[in-house]
Structure 1
Amino acid sequence: MSEILSGRGIDLHYGSAQAVRGASVSLHKGEVAAITGQSGSGKSSLLYCLAGVLPVTGGEVRFAGRLLRDLGDEELSALRRDRFGFVFQYGELLPELTVEENTALPLRLAGQRKSPALAAAGEVLGRLGLADLRERRPSQVSGGQSQRVAVARALVHRPAVVFADEPTGSLDSANAATVLDEFLGLARSQGTAVLLVTHDPEVAAQADSRYTMSDGVLGAWERGAS
């Protein structure tokens, strides 16, 4: 597999506090990697460094061989919009949009016309068992359904990498297992690489590779059970 995303020697400071210390990560096309650790260990900060959301204090991040620090603001924004997808702990759907419109949002922001964008959204929603909810608002669906919509939104534009920050942390165990299975199954079928952070060992066990983080230090890579 070819490497799609890498971080080498990443440091991140918030003022005088150091959140990430010399972290190195490698992610390949179609790979699912998990970073585990307790709250405050620095795993979410590292995720956002790798996604180009937080500028690193030291070290480097590369996507498809290109250094993120060499990209201008517009180019970096386009990269996050077009090549990356994001799943957050609480879904963060826009309340004024329907389920279908929320799902289509990455395509619409990239300039795709409404009709094909909604058609693509409907296809992904159908694969996640959400076709009947297309016209509902986020307030009219359950927590588990809302998180599946967030997964559909992250994958609808077939990104190269999806960054998932505690994607099932707000769900009960049954809904968490369902969402995770659907998320990772669809991502793998599309050849999308997934980097997820979690404190849950059962979630991490679904990954192809795992890292453990503590006090800003990322432990050695290990291969998952899958």
Structure 2
Amino acid sequence: MSANGVDLFYGETPAVRNAEISLTRGEVVAITGQSGSGKSSLLYCLAGVLPVARGEVRFEGRSLGALGDEELSAIRRARFGFVFQYGELLPELTVEENAALPLRLAGQRKSEALAAAGEVLGRLGIADLRDRRPSQVSGGQSQRVAVARALVHQPAVVFADEPTGSLDSNNATAVLEEFLNLARSQGTAVVLVTHDTQVAARADSRYTMRDGVLTAQVREAS
């Protein structure tokens, strides 16, 4: 996936300016910056949620801007995953049903989808919670369910917007480690938006954003 010369405006106000970024299979890319810097806006451009004003986002050889709504929705459903700051679980579903949701939306049989979800929940250490509702689990557990949902269909890319921002430091560290280890093990790339430099330090590549301008950071040799 890559973004080439991407601009985004809200009315007359530039939110993203001439952004260039690329990521490969299994790579974790962090985008840091202050609130309002444009990092979340760029993430939603990469995910095809926000249409770019100029430039293009390419995924698997295709420009997202050239795709129709149905094609774009199909890619987001089958090839992308999403993790948000507060999990955004569906309260009427069990933990296992929430985790299985991408597979069910793709038409997979319920029994197969739940079995796959149970396996991922197990890898995240919360298989014993599968029958609970979101209101019956802790914040850290809820975010693990959100990670399971994002990865259960083995997407090409997961877009994570402040995925540990609502957690205490101990839970944040544990959830982030489990998330990134699982993503890397199945070859899923991660775009990780965060204001936390400790979270960003776990990425393979790191960018900063200020006033809509994206800058790559060069790691020092160790």
| TM norm structure 2 | 0.98
Change beyond 3 A, Cα 1:134–1:56: same
Say whether 1:63 aligns with 2:59.
yes
Residue in 2 that maps onto 1:218: 214
Displacement of 1:67 after TM fit? 0.5
Residue in 2 that maps onto 1:131: 127
Residue in 1 that maps onto 2:44: 48
Equivalenced residues, count: 222
Query: Which ranges of structure 1 fall in alignment gaps of 5 or more residues?
Result: none
1:165 to 161, 164, 178: 161
Say whether 1:174 aligns with 2:174.
no
Change beyond 3 A, Cα 1:225–1:124: farther
Residue in 2 that maps onto 1:35: 31
CA distance in 2, matches of 1:14, 1:130: 41
CA distance in 1, matches of 2:220, 2:58: 24
Give the 3-state SS of the residue equivalent to 1:169 in structure 2. coil
Decide whether the 8 Å contact of 1:205 with 1:225 is kept in 2: no
CA distance in 1, matches of 2:6, 2:162: 21
Counterpart residue type for residue 24 of structure 2: H
Moved over 6 A (4+): none
1:17 to 13, 17, 20: 13
Give the 3-state SS of the residue equivalent to 1:179 in structure 2. helix
Give the 3-state SS of the residue equivalent to 1:28 in structure 2. coil
Displacement of 1:75 after TM fit? 0.5
Counterpart residue type for residue 184 of structure 2: R
Residue in 1 that maps onto 2:75: 79
Counterpart residue type for residue 207 of structure 1: A
CA distance in 1, matches of 2:110, 2:2: 34
Counterpart residue type for residue 175 of structure 2: V
Residue in 2 that maps onto 1:193: 189
Percent sequence identity over aligned pairs: 82
CA distance in 2, matches of 1:9, 1:173: 36
